[in-house]
Chains A and B, each alone.
Chain A
Amino acid sequence: MEGSNQRAGRLILGIETSCDETAAAVVTPDGRILSNVISSQAELHARFGGVVPEVASRRHLELVVPVLREALAEADAELETLDAVAVTQGPGLVGALLVGLSAAKAVAWANRLPLVPVNHLHGHVASLYLQPEPIEPPFLCLLASGGHTLLIDVAEPGGFRVLGTTLDDAAGEAFDKGARLLGLGYPGGAAIDRLAREGDSGSYDFPVARVHGLDFSFSGLKTALLYTVRDLSEDELERRRADLAAAYQRAIVRALVARVHEAAEQNAASRIAVVGGVAANSELRAALPEAAFAPLPLCTDNAAMIASAARYTEAVPFPGYLALDAYASG
């Protein structure tokens, strides 16, 4: 009994509500995931053609307690036996972040636990530190998702340094809007990935803007696809859709890979890692065979990565965190 309490007493509860997902997870100090619950809204997205019926913190509010309960139950953990509560503090939609932050404060305060405020981007990087195959810094990390596209230098697990970022659209957004232009379903990244396998990626040449330094730009690519699609008749579009998807995907992947290699060279990085929703893309995975990719369930927003990051982040001791605020950017 004492042994099991000792194990349970060192658990970290993670909570993430920065964007669409309400998520909670329980992780051990050595990075084993005991539970990782995500209330994915993907089904709802699909039903409403990519438009969410309600993009509001109220949705998080409805889900946060059931998701928390499920994460604890799956991990066979009790609130009283937690060691710390980790929560995403930003960046994200402030109202959404506040739901998770308030829940985390309540759980931590009621149980006299420390609270660990985590940066969402650090969380994505920390998805790589989880079992069963954790990787250790130093490495160069590409974080590519719907909301973010960053090149990050990771020297130690507690921090990260941004080397480059998108100047307009995120890579995941480029996938999503491309899918919309091609009349594909949601989520767009997966739809393009699937269709691209049937197409000839050499049949169209979509240029990707070369921008200064290690930054990215995908907005022009989206516009190039738009004009190509506009010039096609309905029938032609139907026939060429797979080719367009393949060529478009190739352009995004090439741009990402080229920048990753440049950054690796400039920073003498011995290791490359890829995290975020776009890390699930099969062509990107194939194009960077030497890279470590986040496991598929940890690519999209989740709370296990937040709990993981908390292991390398300074905790705020009880009860000093009640005034802690969420931040929108940075």
Chain B
Amino acid sequence: MARLELTSSSPEETERLAGRLARRLLVGNVVTVSGELGTGKTTFVRGACRALGIEVPVTSPTFTIGHRYPGNPDVSHLDLFRFKGVSPAEWGDLEPYFEDAICFVEWPEAAARVLPPVRVAVRLSHVDREHRTIEVESDDRQLLAEVSGDVDARV
């Protein structure tokens, strides 16, 4: 696994970064998005969705557990905040969201043992009110290069 660490100074920047990542994704890819409350996980997924052509509001699925946005391809957005582990029955409910879609999973820790192979693992953490550290892990070095490229150019 190769790893990249970046700093975002605004929600807009987090969305842009996610957008660069999204453009490398394919149907069936799973992206986990970890981090404490308020680090910008949903913001990250929103940025990725926008880059993938999803135009409807991308909202937190904490209560609804899953959203699936129709597109080309579909984008699924899961949130396992309310889960404590994932039982086989629960996996039965979640599995359809992974089929024929790019799937983002917030609070993936509960499903660590049942998730399909993860293409990219993203971790956001607090620095201060404005700044967040964004770690991106993937086997795909070209994807990481693409995610980082624009930031280097701008900084």
The interface of chain A, by Cβ under 8 A from chain B, is 19, 48, 50-58, 91-96, 145-147, 165-170, 172-173, 176-177, 180-181, 215, 219, 222-223, 226-227, 230, 328-329
Contact = CB atoms under 8 A, between A and B. Distances in A.
Contact of A329 (B46, B67, B93): B67
B57 A94 contact: no
Nearest to A49: B84
Given A169-B60, A173-B62, A329 B68 contact: yes
Given A52-B83, A223-B38, A328-B67, A173 B60 contact: yes
B34 interface: no
Contact of A166 (B59, B67, B96, B129): B59
B63 A19 contact: yes
A328 B38 contact: no
Closest 7 pairs between A and B when the two form their complex, measured CB to CB: A95-B93, A146-B63, A58-B89, A147-B63, A223-B38, A56-B90, A56-B89
A57 B92 contact: yes
Interface string B24-63: 0000000000000110001100100000000001011011
B38 A56 contact: no
Interface residues of B, number: 27
A170 B63 contact: yes
A52 B82 contact: yes
A147 to B, nearest CB: 4
Contacts of A215: 57
B42 to A, nearest CB: 6
A96 B37 CA distance: 26
B93 A56 contact: yes
B142 interface: no
Contacts of A181: 37
B92 A56 contact: yes
13 contacts: A48-B84, A55-B82, A55-B90, A94-B93, A96-B93, A165-B57, A166-B57, A168-B60, A170-B59, A176-B62, A226-B38, A328-B68, A329-B67
A7 B100 CA distance: 49
A227 B43 CA distance: 18
B84 A226 contact: no
A219 to B, nearest CB: 7
B82 A51 contact: yes
A176 B92 CA distance: 27
B68 to A, nearest CB: 5
B60 A227 contact: no
A52 B84 contact: yes
B63 A172 contact: yes
A128 to B, nearest CB: 22
A93 B66 contact: yes
B63 A93 contact: no
Nearest to A215: B57
A56 B67 contact: no
A170 B62 CA distance: 9
Contacts of B87: 54, 56, 58
Contacts of B68: 328-329
A54 B59 contact: no
Contact of A226 (B37, B62, B83, B89): B37
Nearest to B65: A93
Nearest to B79: A173
Contacts of B62: 146, 169, 173, 176-177
A110 B90 CA distance: 29
B81 to A, nearest CB: 8
B37 A180 contact: yes
Contacts of B37: 177, 180-181, 222, 226
A329 B42 CA distance: 17
Contact of B69 (A50, A166, A176, A329): A329
Most A CB contacts (10 A, CB to CB) among B43, B65, B68, B126 go to: B65
